[in-house]
Amino acid sequence: MLNYILSSLVFLPLLGAVVILLIPSSQRHFYKSITLLFCAVELALCGWLYAHFSTANAAYQFLEKIDWITIPLGSLGTVSIDYLLGVDGISLPLVFLTGVVMLVGAVSSWHINKREKAYFALYLLLTSSVMGCFVALDFFLFFLFFEFMLLPMYFLIGLWGGPRREYASLKFFLYTLAGSVLILVVMIALYLSAVDPFESEATQTLVHTFDLRYLADGHNYLPDSILSPTGEIEIWGISSRMLAFWLLFIGFAIKLPIVPLHTWLPDAHVEAPTPVSVVLAGVLLKIGGYGLLRIAYPLFPDAANEYAFSLGVLGVLSIVYGGFNALAQNDLKKMVAYSSVSHMGFVLLGVASLTAEGVNGAVYQMVSHGILSALLFLVVGVLYDRTHNRLIDSYRGLVSPMPQLTVVVSVAFFASLGLPGFSGFVGELFTLMGGFQSDRLPHWLVAIGTLGIVLAAGYFLWTLQRLFFGPFWAKNANDAALLTDLTLREKMMLLPLVMLTLLLGLFPNLVFNLTNQAVTLWMKIFL
Amino acid sequence: MNLLLLIPLLPLVGFLINGIGFKHIPKSLVGVIGSVGPVVAFILSIYAFGAFRAGNNAPVIIQLFDWITVGTLNISFSFQIDQLSLLMLLVVTGVGSLIHIYSIGYMSHDAGFGKFFAFLNLFLFFMLLLVMGSNYVIMFIGWEGVGLCSYLLIGFWNKVTNYNNAARKAFIMNRIGDLGFLLGIFLIIQTFGTVEYLPVFEKAVGMSVGDSAIAAITLLLFVGAMGKSAQIPLYTWLPDAMAGPTPVSALIHAATMVTAGIYMVVRSNVLYALAPDTLEIVAIIGLATALMAASIGLFQNDIKKVLAYSTVSQLGYMFMALGVAAYSSAMFHVITHAFFKALLFLGAGSVIHAMSDEQDIRNMGGLRKKLPITFLTFLIATIAISGIPPFAGFFSKDEILAHVYEHNKLMWALGVLGSIMTSFYMFRLLFLTFFGDFRGTHEQAHHLHESPISMTLPLMVLAVLSVVGGFMNVPHVLGGHSALATFMDPLFANAQRANPALFEHGHLDHSTEYLLMGVSVGAALLAMGAAYVLFISKKNVPAADGQESGLQKVIYNKYYVDEFYEAIFVNPMRKLSDALYSFGEFIVDGLVKGAGGLVKLSSGQLRQLQTGETGFYVFAMVVGITALLLWNFGAIIFK
């Protein structure tokens, strides 16, 4: 099985979903434990992967390749789609993050008590498709997983969500679908333009490929094709490659999300049940950033180079705009959602800088934000579970009834606002540093980006004070009795995340050792 | 293992024990656990100091591990032991130990006793990290860490909204300064390719005076220093920070954390030597802060507020010294100030303790009989800070003023004006608190008592230091050897190589030096006399709130700077965030919904075509085919 470690990672949760579907509903109390078990094994596999990964090797490792679809089309060449999996230093941290977040999400799903069969089957299905996105090296395969993710997500929000769940889930679906269409258009153009050099050589026909390794090499593009790096094809007066890059960018930026394509996110979070919010913020957003790193940038380095400034501006815009919006929120979950927008802006800034510091920092920031946003949404859930009210102005002085929660929230907030010792600091430090070192971005732009750090201090501390400090008071008198401190199960899902953000903050090389070589190789195409 | 590692580690262990187990540890043990770390760290610091002096005076680097390796940048987690870090170590652990011991008594009735010691230990850990780190990133980590502890301890009594506001204000205002620090670090990396002090300074020596990158770096770092060390315009958080328990005010907001900005500039002295323009700005900001804060201090009635503005003002003097490149004088004042200002705050704490939490000096008076030790030590500290010989403050302040005089005579005159105000507000405070008749309630009078030994002992130790502390650096003109300055000299060797002109000044002749001393001491005594006449002979008591008028009212209200900031920065930020949320989201989301609506509308229209009647479909088909034919062949047909 360990020869097929990546396939196991992808299909193990799927197997879990099948198991759950087969167990009759009369035995529904097993669903949670089964989900938990599969997620735990999944994380253990991630651990094995981490232990056996060679950090000195920048190339893809644990490669699995099966010729999947091959259709000769005569004069049009051959369609070749591979089942191709592999990880490198950029994807491995995200794979690991997925393992952690999905397990924590499974623990926090404990209180789901309607239609459990569907819920847990969908949850495991989601795990499979997210894993698939991070390990697929064939664009077609990636796209399949990417699209497939929508299905469980749509239902998880739409069926188990809050009062406006249908609106929110449809909005999420349409937004992402719109992005997918753009990606699909580029995929088709890429298919027409690039070939597999070895297969073509061997068969003396044009074997079109979706292998991302070949797509990332300009030599594999047909000279007169639509996306040829040497050709000068224009569509509506814009170079076809530039256009293709922006289409991909928009597709992934919706996921990330980048202002102004972010408006689905606060709605989706507000309506989603806690575990789904955790997964959404913890890993799904990262697919946007990963898509930029794995697909948009390597395939169109010329465009990424040319538009570095605009991309940097978008990153900084997200940082500042998200920060201001977080400041204005009264719904705790919305505040956290906007803080996500702000923090993911750092990712784009780091990537746009095209420096070793910035890109390493961007990957690190994704991991860090994955842990922290999971933590933040979990603590929101703790409050919501008790009173079904997340409005900040409904409470004061929660430190009295809930001292332990106060400690965890304080840690989560300070870690998120970039206090050294926690992971948030390192991510922000390096994405900003990369932006500053980059000769593609002006210093003033990054200086504006640093405002995000002050804003973060503003909205987190303001929220902390309003919710937890002062004399105890609850707007709804009945709530006072419900506000009990953390249960054992809650501590079990919160503590590991606190430990993780601390661990990564104290020893950032745990991530950087993985990413460094891969990013160095990645950077070569931009020199 | 290197013993020096224990210095920061011990307080950290104390934090962990008290922080995790404070509910289960008996109170008597909490104080001991909390105090043992700092005391042992102090002993180790003395040991390190001795070992260093016995060595060859070269900086010692203790490499712990590679913290971050990214691309070509390597940030190591390592400590640097040299003259500067040793002095800071001694002050931080020494004064820190005394304040920990003091807190055992002061906080004994507080429910959050264990939490308090945990936070205090954590602060000490970060402060030690700040001064021991061998590069700017470690300094920044400590810098932010002490900011966290400052936040936690200002808002220690978190049931009181005002205290929480003060804590938040302190953190956010410091964050603004930190942005400068952060950008400064980025620019250092870009310019030098490393953040380690030694290589950075080595490379800097070869650069030219007035280099624009260095000017930018020094300015940005100074913005950081403005925040942490409460200089104009980022000073308003410090007076508010007095909301924290008094030992916190003494340790963090007087003796140690707020001097981190001075430490930073002294540490970067090579860079500052290369940026004379920045130095001029530092000197002017320092002077302006010294004067403004001192003037506000003249009219404050809260015992801790007076001391807080005094701290801001004294920090201004230190920056003034830095601005005229008198680095060792600034450090000298850091040290003596740590002694007497910690003593003043702890004395104030003893008074507040005795007065059942009263802080308004208008309700005090005549306390010298009931609190003899507190009074005597407070008197010593007052004399020391006022610059009256031979107490500690005289030597350090006089040295600063002498250097300022060489630099610019007007600055010197203003500096003397500031020390007149210092002497006045301090003696005003002393007279109103300890002399005259008691003005408090009967109940307070009934409870008046001298503090327990755990509190008075630190007072006495600090009092001795405030008396003799100045002798560590007696100038040549008074027959001394400037021992401290000589000890620190190697720190500035690179700066002297980089910009020799900065350190070449015509040495003042002895008669001028005597004259300068005479003027400043005379001025201080005069101010003391004025305070005596006003508050002892005439028995004046400051007016009740709202009774002030004219300029006095403006100054009493701190020149309305807080209100100004509120109107110019805080409120617009709030409004902007609300506007962006309600307006920005409305537009963005409106566009999205509009697109959705358009699809819905057009599909609704198109749906009408699907009538289900075969006749209609056939008709539409014929029309369609005709249209297509016309489209394709129209040109031929109609030729």
Question: What 3 state SS string does A413-480 have?
Answer: HHHHCCCCCCHHHHHHHHHHHHHHHCCCCCHHHHHHHHHHHHHHHHHHHHHHHHHHCCCCEECCCCHH
The answer on B438 and B368 residing in a single domain is yes
User: Which tens digits make up the pLDDT trace of B243-275?
Assistant: 889 999 999 988 899 999 999 999 999 999 999
Q: How confident is the model at residue A231 (pLDDT cuts 50, 70, 90)?
A: confident
> What percent of chain A is modeled with pLDDT above 90?
66
The pLDDT, as a whole number, for residue B576 is 86
Most confident of B66-75, B360-369, B374-383, B548-557: B374-383
Q: Are B145 and A519 a contacting pair at CB < 8 A?
A: no
pLDDT tens, position by position, B579-623:
888 877 788 778 877 877 888 888 888 777 777 778 788 888 888
What's the pLDDT band for B551 if we cut at 50, 70, 90?
Answer: confident
Label residue A45 by pLDDT band (50, 70, 90): very high
Residue B265 contacts residue B221 (beta carbons within 8 Å): yes
B274, part of any domain:
no
Mean pLDDT of A508-512: 93
Q: Quick one: which of A172, A113, A138 has its CA closest to A60?
A: A138
CB atoms within 10 A of CB A223: 9
Q: How confident is the model at residue A72 (pLDDT cuts 50, 70, 90)?
A: confident
Closest approach of chain B CAs to the CA of A492, in angstroms? 17
pLDDT score of A73 more than 80: no
Q: What is the pLDDT of residue B389?
A: 85
Indicate the Cα dihedral angle A279, A283, A286, A288, nearest 10°. Answer: -60
My answer on whether B342 and B413 are in the same domain is: yes
Q: Which residues contact B615 (CB under 8 A, 6 or more apart)?
A: none
Q: In which band, very low, low, confident or very high, does the pLDDT at A202 lie, cut at 50, 70 and 90? A: confident
Contact status of B168 with chain A (Cβ, < 8 Å): yes
Residues from chain B that touch A509, judged by Cβ atoms under 8 A, are: 66-69
User: How confident is the model over B620-630, as pLDDT tens digits?
Assistant: 888 888 888 77
Q: Which amino acid belongs to residue B75?
A: I
The DSSP bridge pattern shows strands A207-209 and A238-239 to be: unpaired
**Residue B627: per-residue pLDDT:** 84
- H-type helices in A25-115, by residue range? 29-52, 91-108
Classify A66 as helix, strand or coil. strand
Quote the CA–CA distance of A348 and A321 in Å, as a whole number. Answer: 14
Q: Is the domain of B562 the same as that of B599? A: yes
- Interchain pair A437, B190: CB under 8 A: yes
Of the partner residues B66, B160, B596, the one whose CB lies closest to the CB of residue A174 = B596
Q: Give the rounded percent of residues in chain B with a pLDDT score beyond 90.
A: 51
Rounded CA separation B17/A171 (Å): 50
Average pLDDT of span B67-74: 88
pLDDT value, residue A78: 82
Q: Using CA atoms, how far apart are residues A88 and A515, in angstroms rounded to an integer?
A: 8
Place of tokens 């302040």: B397
Q: How far is CA B351 from CA B358, B372, B591, in A?
A: 8, 11, 64
CA distances from residue B56 to B50, B82, B197 in whole angstroms, order as listed: 12, 11, 19
The reply to whether A214 falls in a domain is no
From B114's Cα to the closest Cα of chain A, the distance in A is: 15
Task: Give the C-alpha separation, B184 to B216, whole Å.
Answer: 8
Contact B592 A421 (CB under 8 A): no
DSSP β-ladder status, A78-87 and A207-209: parallel
Confidence of residue B638 (pLDDT cuts 50, 70, 90): low
Average pLDDT (B66-84) is: 90
Interface pTM, i.e. ipTM = 0.92
pLDDT above 70 covers a percentage of chain B that reads 99
| Minimum mean pLDDT range among A189-198, B288-297, B381-390 | A189-198
Chain A residues with beta carbon closer than 8 angstroms to that of B66 = 509
CB neighbour list of residue A358: distance below 8 Å, 6 or more residues apart = A349, A350, A351, A352, A430, A431, A433, A434, A435, A437, A438
Q: B492 to chain A, minimum CA–CA distance in Å? A: 30
Residues B602 and B625 in one domain: no
- Cα B244 to its chain centre, rounded Å, is 14
Place of tokens 């309305």: B560
Question: Mean pLDDT, to the nearest integer, of A89-96?
Answer: 95
Dist. CA A239–CA B515, nearest whole Å: 79
| B582 vs B167, higher pLDDT | B167
Which pLDDT band, with edges at 50, 70 and 90, does B639 fall under? low
Contact across the interface for A325 and B70, Cβ inside 8 Å: no
| Residues B122, B130: Cα–Cα separation, whole Å | 12
Among B residues 451-470, those touching chain A with beta carbons less than 8 Å apart: none
Q: Which of A171, A176, A258, A263 to mutate to test the interface with B (most CBs of B within 10 A)?
A: A263
Question: Taking residues B146-161, what's their average pLDDT?
Answer: 91
Interchain contact, A458 vs B172, CB within 8 Å: yes
Q: Which domain holds residue A436?
A: 307-527
Between vectors from CA B542 to CA B539 and to CA B547, what angle results, nearest 5°? Answer: 135
Chain A hits for B186, CB-CB cut-off 8 Å, are: 432-433, 436-437, 446
Task: Give residues with Cβ within 8 angstroms of A201, minimum separation 6.
Answer: none
**Burial of A98 by CB count in 10 Å (0-12 exposed, 13-18 middle, 19+ buried)?**
buried
The residue among B518, B543, B568 that closes a domain is B543
Cross-chain Cβ contact B585/A263 below 8 Å:
yes
> Is the peptide bond prior to A257 cis by the omega test (within 30 degrees of 0)?
yes
Residue A446 placed within a domain: yes
Domain membership of residue A45 (yes or no) is: no
Structure tokens at B293: 């804060």
A425–B144: do the CB atoms touch at under 8 Å? yes
Whether the CB of B172 is below 8 Å from some CB of chain A: the reply is: yes
Largest CA distance in chain B: 122
Pairing of strands B73-81, B60-70: antiparallel
Q: Identify which of B282, B463, B487 has the alpha carbon closest to the alpha carbon of residue B384.
A: B463
Smallest Cβ distance to B70: which of A260, A419, A516? Answer: A516
Cβ neighbours of B592 in A, within 8 Å: 171, 175, 263
* B245 cis-preceded (ω within 30 degrees of 0): no
Dihedral angle of Cα B51, B55, B57, B61, to the nearest 10 degrees: -70
| pLDDT surpasses 60 at B1 | no
Which residue carries 């996921």 as its tokens?
A: A255
Is there a contact between A357 and A337 (Cβ–Cβ < 8 Å)? Answer: no
Report which of A452, A362, A391, A381 is spatially closest to residue A416, judged by C-alpha positions: A452
Distance CA B276, CA B346 (A): 39
Tell me which of B543, B566, B583 is where a domain ends: B543
Question: What does the alpha-carbon distance between residue B34 and residue B251 come to, in Å, rounded to a whole number?
Answer: 15
Pair of tokens at residue A487: 């249960």
User: Number of structural domains, chain A?
Assistant: 1
Please tell me which residue of chain A has the smallest CA distance to B577.
Answer: A324
Residue from B240, B212, B211, B235 nearest B225 by CA: B235
Residue A69's pLDDT is 84
Mean pLDDT within A458-478: 90
Q: Which member of A436, A454, A512 has the closest CB to residue B68?
A: A512
Residue B56 has pLDDT above 80, yes or no: no
* C-alpha to C-alpha distance for A97 and A91, rounded to whole angstroms: 10
Q: Does the pLDDT value for residue A256 go beyond 70?
A: yes
How high is the pLDDT of residue B636? 62
Indicate whether B347 and B470 sit together in one domain: yes
Rounded to an integer, the average pLDDT of A68-75 is 80
DSSP single-letter state for residue A388: S
Regarding whether B595 and B625 lie in a shared domain, the answer is: no
Instruction: Name the closest residue on chain A to residue B599, using Cα atoms.
Output: A174
Q: How many structural domains are present in chain B? A: 3
Q: Is residue B389 in some structural domain? A: yes
Whether the Cβ atoms of residue A473 and residue A396 lie closer than 8 Å to each other: yes
Instruction: Determine whether the interchain pair B179/A357 forms a contact, defined as Cβ–Cβ distance below 8 Å.
Output: no
Disruptive mutation site among B129, B137, B172, B577 for chain A (greatest number of A CBs within 10 Å): B577
With beta carbons under 8 A apart, name residues in chain B contacting A473: none
Name the CA radius of gyration of chain B, rounded: 31
Residue B634: pLDDT band with limits 50, 70, 90: low
* Buried residues in A442-453 as b, exposed as e (16+ CB within 10 A): eeebbbebbbbb
Record: contact B159-A509, CB cut-off 8 A: no
pLDDT for residue B281? 94
Chain-chain contact of B585 with A325 (C-beta, under 8 angstroms) = yes
In a domain, A413, yes or no: yes
**Cβ <8 Å between B171 and A461:** yes
Question: Which residue does chain A place closest to B66, by CA atoms?
Answer: A509
Residue B254 distance to chain A (closest CA, Å)? 23
Binned at pLDDT 50, 70 and 90, residue B637 comes out as low
Residue B201 in domain: no
B514 & B454 share domain: yes
Chain B partners of A175 at a C-beta cutoff of 8 Å? 592
Interface membership of B69 toward A (CB under 8 Å) = yes
- Closest Cα in chain B, distance from residue A503 (Å): 12
**Is B573 in contact with A356 (Cβ distance < 8 A)?**
no
- Do residues B477 and B501 share a domain? yes
Residues B299 and B305: their CA atoms lie apart, in Å, by 10
State whether residue B537 sits within 8 Å of chain A by CB. Answer: no
3-class secondary structure, A71 = strand
Q: Residue A160 has which token pair?
A: 């188990």
Task: Find all residues with CB under 8 Å of B54, minimum gap 6, and list them.
Answer: none
Q: What per-residue confidence (pLDDT) applies to B537? A: 85
- A345, part of any domain: yes
Contact (CB, 8 A) for A196 and A211: yes
Is residue B461 domain-shared with residue B572, that is, in the same domain? no
Q: Which residues of B touch A429 (CB under 8 A)?
A: 182
Per CB-CB distance under 8 Å, the chain A contacts of B596 are 174
Asked if A468's CB is within 8 angstroms of B175's CB, the reply is no
C-alpha to C-alpha distances, B537 to B77, B187, B372, B432, B530, nearest whole angstrom: 60, 58, 22, 12, 10
Residues of A in contact with B569 (CB under 8 A): none
Peptide bond preceding A301: is omega within 30 degrees of 0, i.e. cis?
no
Chain B nearest-CA residue for A463: B168
pLDDT, position B19: 87
What count of other Cβ atoms lies within 10 Å of the Cβ of residue B570? 14
Q: Do B145 and A420 touch (CB under 8 A)?
A: yes
Q: What is the count of residue pairs from A and B with beta carbons less than 8 Å apart? A: 129
CB contact under 8 Å between A356 and B70, yes or no, is yes
pLDDT number for residue B548: 74
pLDDT of residue B262: 95
Residue A54 lies inside a defined structural domain of this protein? no
- B111 contact A CB<8A: no
Tell me the C-alpha distance between A323 and A335, whole Å. 9
B430 and B382 together in one domain: yes
Q: Which domain holds residue B581?
A: 557-608
Per the DSSP assignment, residues forming a β-bridge with A65 are A84
Of B172, B189, B589, the CB nearest to A437: B189
Per the CB < 8 A criterion, the answer to whether B226 and B261 are in contact is: yes
Distance of CA A263 to the CA centre of its chain: 17
Any domain includes A497: yes
pLDDT of residue B635: 61
Classify each residue of B350-379 as buried b or exposed e, where b means 16 or more C-beta atoms within 10 Å of its C-beta.
bbbbbbeebbbbbbbbbbbebbebbbbbbb
